[in-house]
Amino acid sequence: MSDIIPKTEWIKKWTDNGVGWIQLSHENKLNPLSAAFILAIKDAAQKFDNDPSIGCIVLIGSDKAFAAGADLKEMVKLNYASVSESRYIENGWLDIPKIQTPMIAGVKGYALGGGCELAMMCDFIIAKDDAKFGQPEINIGAIPGAGGTQRLTRSIGKSKAMYYVLTGDMISSEEAENCGLVAKVFKGEEFDLSLKKIAIKIANQSKPLAKLAKQAVNVAYETTLEEGVRSERALFYSTFALDDHVEGMEAFSEKRKPAWKNK
């Protein structure tokens, strides 16, 4: 699928206080995820990831939906040969979890199918109280294909994940927070302000320390406890080589706010 041109016109980007904002802005407010749309999202995230002034990336959708699933008009034309030979799911989708800068999914409305998978690729999810999550692929003759069965199981456990994948039922924001899929839920107008505050707080941390912390947590998500502790210890030792380690320690002892050098 190397000939696909990213749909950059469906992406809005801006920066604010060290935060890179990416809004999914498809002409369809449900933000159906086509191959070209995913490539545009991936490209926008990578550009912010390579920007030294950005300390946090936030991915948001419309008021109606973060993304309500794949673009079925595109998928219905595909068969086994075309999806496997074109590496349909691999293009773009596999690159988003590789972003090193902390990345938040801010979810209003529906995050279903590929939309739920995209949200779970971010480091954590902040949801509005009207948000609904789910992997309803079984209802349309498919199963999750972009990590849904894997990330959902790691987030909420086998029993609940199996239930939602096999029934296709939606997960309310309250249930999503209770079972660990979502980090925080905010009501009404609190959502936008709270999401912005959280993103700015992360962006104002030491950038190299935040990336190391993200890496350490991701190891816990992906491997055994023994290997995770070993990796964490190595990453911890590496922080002693940073100027920001010295600054953080000195600021604490002097009872002042750190002036991070980001190196």
Catalytic residues: 70, 114, 117, 137
Q: How far apart are CA 151 and CA 31, in angstroms?
A: 21
The DSSP bridge partners found for residue 184 are: 126
Beta bridge partners of 56: 19
| CA proximity to 101, closest of 51, 52, 60, 49 | 49
How far apart are the C-alpha atoms of 16 and 141, rounded to whole Å?
Answer: 42
Q: How many CB atoms lie within 10 A of CB 149?
A: 17
* Burial group, residue 216, by CB count within 10 angstroms (0-12, 13-18, 19+): middle
Spell out the residues 6+ positions from residue 161 whose beta carbon is closer than 8 angstroms to its own.
149, 152, 153, 155
Residues 6+ apart with CB under 8 A from 104: 56, 57, 58, 59, 122, 123, 124, 125, 126, 195, 198, 199, 202
Q: Are 16 and 58 in contact, with CB atoms under 8 Å apart?
A: no
Cα distances (Å, whole numbers) of residue 60 to 87, 195, 255: 26, 10, 37
For strands 171-172 and 124-128, give the pairing: unpaired
